[in-house]
């Protein structure tokens, strides 16, 4: 079954293919004989109530010196694609939301969008995990600095972060008596105008912030533990963390079991759970990563598992 697979992503010319999960998906789609189509965020439009897109034929090569060839981009109805991989990185801002609405039009026309546009709008990666409080550490979400200070006073060691960051950006570790606390709260709440998250600090971060990939509700059997380096408490690879593959623990699998039914219900085919110690801290739905690292360490084909699930859903 040959399909037209379109991808909405950040500029392909600037990716690092050794670590890019979207690139792994494109390689697998091409290996299966699917036709690749490429689009960026500015390429979506609506004509007479139908989703249109300026997209170009794409070929990909697992070569760090020459990893893609693009044909000429043309405006086409999005219905000409069988599958759209929505892989635009955060922030989930106004333009991201509007794009998801256009993709939802394409979905109604019969295009399979991964992940489902409504779920991308509904499931903020910091807040969605809190739908499963049995899995999460003590957490407070507020705009009000006094509320967040009270949480710090209650738990002493905390992590503070905005709702719309990625790659460890804008994350702070603080504690009771921290002379920088007021400044941190002003920064992450933008002087009380935006919601921010406070979570109790989890010391097990020293063993890594595990990324567990889940495909149609089923976990990949290994996670990538992103281990902080030096004096930085953040494990994110973008913040300098070191990635080490580890088998899932019994607790990891229990967390997946708690979350999986809702992932399936919402049409979240490919997600990344972040687990530190015994606790779920985030559910990544926009553009989860770590495919390439886990494939390399364990001889897996995670993108193959994802396409197996997508193709099965189309039959």
Best CA proximity match to 141, nearest among 198, 101, 87, 97: 198
What is the structure's pLDDT at 231? 66
76 pLDDT band, cuts 50/70/90, is very high
Q: Where are the alpha helices (DSSP H) in 10-130?
A: 21-31, 94-109, 117-122
Burial of 300 (0-12, 13-18, 19+ CB in 10 A): middle
Residue-level pLDDT at 55: 97
Note the pLDDT tens digit of each residue in 257-296: 999 999 999 999 999 999 999 999 999 999 999 999 999 9
Active-site residue, from 104, 284, 292, 295: 284
Instruction: Provide the angle, in degrees to the nearest 10, between the axes of the packed helices 21-31 and 302-314.
Output: 60
Q: Residues of 254-276 as b/e, b for ≥16 C-beta within 10 angstroms?
A: ebbeebbebbeebbbbbbbbbbb
Q: Active-site residue among 87, 112, 161, 200?
A: 161
Checking if the pLDDT of 303 tops 70, the result is: yes
| Average pLDDT over every residue of 174-183 | 94
Query: pLDDT class for 166, splitting at 50, 70, 90?
Result: low
Q: What percent of the chain has pLDDT over 70?
A: 95
Is 19 an annotated catalytic residue? no
Does the pLDDT value for residue 168 go beyond 70? Answer: no
Query: What is the Cα–Cα distance from 216 to 228, expressed in whole angstroms?
Result: 30
Strands 139-142 and 196-200: antiparallel
Structural domains present in the chain: 4-120 (3.40.50.20), 138-201 (3.30.1490.20), 204-314 (3.30.470.20)
Q: Is residue 298's pLDDT more than 70?
A: yes
Annotated active-site residue in 88, 112, 140, 234: 234
Please report the pLDDT score of residue 164 as a whole number: 80
How many CB atoms neighbour CB 98 within 10 A? 13
Mean pLDDT of the chain: 94
Percent of the chain with pLDDT strictly greater than 90: 88
297, 99 Cβ separation under 8 angstroms: no
Question: Model confidence at 242, in pLDDT bands (50, 70, 90)?
Answer: confident
How many CB atoms neighbour CB 87 within 10 A?
A: 22
Spatial CA neighbour of 162 closest among 184, 134, 129: 184
Using alpha carbons, select from 225, 216, 208, 302 the residue that is nearest to residue 259.
Answer: 216
81/4 Cα distance (integer angstroms): 5
Check 140, 226, 266, 292 and give the catalytic one: 226
pLDDT (mean) for 154-179? 87
Annotated catalytic residue 72: no
Query: Which of 125, 252, 274, 295 is flagged as catalytic?
Result: 274
Among the listed residues 28, 99, 107, 282, the single catalytic one is 282
Taking only the tens place, the pLDDT of each residue in 103-112 is 999 999 999 9
The catalytically annotated residue of 88, 126, 140, 210 is 126
pLDDT tens-digit map of 224-233 = 999 887 666 6
Tokens of 92: 């989930």
Residue 233: per-residue pLDDT: 66
Which of 88, 140, 211, 292 is catalytic? The answer is 211
Annotation says 226 is catalytic: yes
Would you state the structure tokens that stand for residue 170, as one six-digit string?
A: 């804008």
Reported as a single tens digit per residue, the pLDDT across 11-44 is 999 999 999 999 999 999 999 999 999 999 989 9
Q: What is the pLDDT of residue 238?
A: 63
- Hey, what are 251's tokens? 């607790």
């Amino acid at each position: 079954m040959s399909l037209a697979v379109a991808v909405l992503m950040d500029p392909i010319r600037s990716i690092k293919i050794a670590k890019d999960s979207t690139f792994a998906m494109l390689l697998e789609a091409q290996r299966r004989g699917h036709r690749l189509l490429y689009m960026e965020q500015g390429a979506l439009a609506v004509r007479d109530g139908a989703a249109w897109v300026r997209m170009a034929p794409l070929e990909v090569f697992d070569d760090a010196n020459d990893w893609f060839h693009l044909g000429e981009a043309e405006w086409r109805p999005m219905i000409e694609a069988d599958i759209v991989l929505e892989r635009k990185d955060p922030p989930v801002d106004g333009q991201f939301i509007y794009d998801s609405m256009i993709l939802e039009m394409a979905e109604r026309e019969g295009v399979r969008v991964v992940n489902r546009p409504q779920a991308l709008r509904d499931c903020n990666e910091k807040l969605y995990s809190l739908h499963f409080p049995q899995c999460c550490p003590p957490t407070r979400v507020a705009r009000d600095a006094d509320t967040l200070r009270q949480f710090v006073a209650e738990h002493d060691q905390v992590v503070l972060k905005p709702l719309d960051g990625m790659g460890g950006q804008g994350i702070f570790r603080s504690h009771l008596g921290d002379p920088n606390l007021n400044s941190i709260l002003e920064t992450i709440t933008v002087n009380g105008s935006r919601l921010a998250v406070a979570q109790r600090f989890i010391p097990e971060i020293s063993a890594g912030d595990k990324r567990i990939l889940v495909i149609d509700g089923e976990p990949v059997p290994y996670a990538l533990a992103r281990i902080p380096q030096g004096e930085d408490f953040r494990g994110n690879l973008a913040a300098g963390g070191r990635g080490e593959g580890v088998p899932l623990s019994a607790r990891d699998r229990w967390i997946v079991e708690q979350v999986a039914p809702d992932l399936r219900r919402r049409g979240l085919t490919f997600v990344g759970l972040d687990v530190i110690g015994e606790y779920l801290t985030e559910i990544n739905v926009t553009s989860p990563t770590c495919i390439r690292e886990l494939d390399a360490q364990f001889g897996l084909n995670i993108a193959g598992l994802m396409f197996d699930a997508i193709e099965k859903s189309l039959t």
